[in-house]
Amino acid sequence: MGEQETKLLTKALASYLEQAKLTDVSLITRLSQGLSNQNYCVRGCHPSYDGESLWVLRVNSWASSQICDRRAEVANWRLAASHFLAPEVVYVSPCNRFYLSRYYLQLQQYNWSALSSENGVSSMTTALTNSLNQTLRLNSYKSQQLGQTQPLKLPNTLGKSASAAIEEARLLLPLLNGLAKLPEPENKMPVDKQWNVYHHRLQSMFAKVTALQAHHCTKAQVALLTKWKLSYAKLVANIEQIEAMLRRLNHCMIRQQFSHRDLNPFNILLVEGALKCIDFEYACSSHPLCDLAAVLASHSLSNEQRQWIIEEYLANNPNLNHHAGSAVSAAIDLYWVFAVCWALQMAFDHLIKQDEIEVNIADKELQGIEGYLACAEEYYQLISNP
């Protein structure tokens, strides 16, 4: 980050903190979590809390705002927080530009966000957040480095009893069941509607990418546009398979329910012995298997843990019928299909704005776009029999 860019960012963050009524700020450090928005941990005082505390300042990106209903995001976040399933949001800026919420330090032995599976979450983070692992010091604020946790995985359950393996996954079930019992959100997004929204937007993007390839672009930009088209072509080639997933899911649903839709380990915190979730950008009323699928797809669980969670969740969910068990695999596949769609949209929105390719795009930005395309390719490989 250049000196001028750092000064502009410093000024913007200082303005945000003043608007949020955060005072006596002694630390601001950029968090590595968050693949589209920018997150900062801030130490200071806020009227909602007696004394100094740690806070998360989240600055929403333009790209993620293109595919997110911010009004619904805040409403669903507050709904979950009112049932102790999410941290309280203490400030929302006009036009939802940024949010302020409590920060909960995740100790190394309890760092839930490190319990990611081998199947994409870890490399996704490597591809997109290496450049974020830096501390930002603002003006004369005291600099204090937050303790960093080392990567941690769930212990290997081979040789353990089934009951011991199940115990390690027991924290996930109350979170899943708690979200399922929340009142149904106003914003409704059935999985087939979500696919249609993503597909139509990607079709429009494909047409723009094709048109822009004929314009004057750098070699790096041409390469990225070509990669984008090839990745999109893979998705289109499997539309019949995706439609089959949707039919299986519709066949097992009685009614929709509150769905977070992105319960990967980086969106889950362990607080006082219970799990809370963050990042409600995609929360809505949707299919009852969405959150179960996200957990099964992105958490490092043994076969025993997976089977136990599936059986317990399905046995106690009134919104699913007896076909649900056979549809779980389709829900997991659709999770990765939507992840591919997300990555392609993020890559496009960082490369092309207002129907024009960024002329003076920085090398760092190009690397970020490359990272999104790498994620799309990896997610695609995780779909069954693509």
Length of the chain (residues): 386
Question: pLDDT per position in the chain (386 positions), as tens?
Answer: 556 656 777 888 999 999 999 999 998 988 865 567 889 999 999 999 999 999 999 999 888 888 889 999 999 999 999 999 999 999 999 989 999 999 998 865 556 666 666 554 444 444 444 433 333 333 333 333 333 322 223 333 334 445 555 666 788 999 999 999 999 999 999 999 999 999 999 999 999 888 876 666 778 888 888 999 999 999 999 999 999 999 999 999 999 999 999 999 889 998 988 999 999 999 999 999 999 999 999 988 888 899 999 999 999 999 999 999 999 999 999 999 999 999 999 999 888 876 676 656 677 778 888 999 999 999 999 998 65
Strands 23-30, 38-45: pairing is antiparallel
Helix (H, G, I), strand (E, B) or coil at 27: strand
pLDDT of 330: 97
Tokens of 340: 């591919």
The full DSSP string for 127-191 is: HHHGGG--PPP-TTPPP-PPPPPPP--PPP-TTS-HHHHHHHHTTHHHHHHHHHTSPPPSSB--H
Dihedral of alpha carbons 75, 77, 80, 82, sign: negative
The total of other beta-carbon atoms located within 10 Å of residue 258's CB is 25
Strands 268-271, 356-357: pairing is unpaired
pLDDT of 117: 60
Q: What is the dihedral of CA 348, 376, 287, 190, to 10 degrees?
A: 30
Tokens of 287: 């299919």
pLDDT of 34: 56
Dist CA 49 CA 31 (whole Å):
22
CB 284 within 8 A of CB 259: yes
DSSP state, residue 266: G
Q: Domains of the chain (ranges plus CATH)?
A: 174-381 (3.90.1200)
CA nearest to 151, candidates 120, 113, 119: 113
pLDDT of 126: 44
Dist CA 279 CA 262 (whole Å):
8
pLDDT of 139: 35
pTM reported for the whole predicted model = 0.84
User: How many Å from the N-terminal Cα to the C-terminal Cα in the chain?
Assistant: 39
CB 242 within 8 A of CB 25: no
pLDDT of 240: 96
DSSP state, residue 285: E
Helix (H, G, I), strand (E, B) or coil at 61: coil
pLDDT of 372: 92
pLDDT of 113: 64
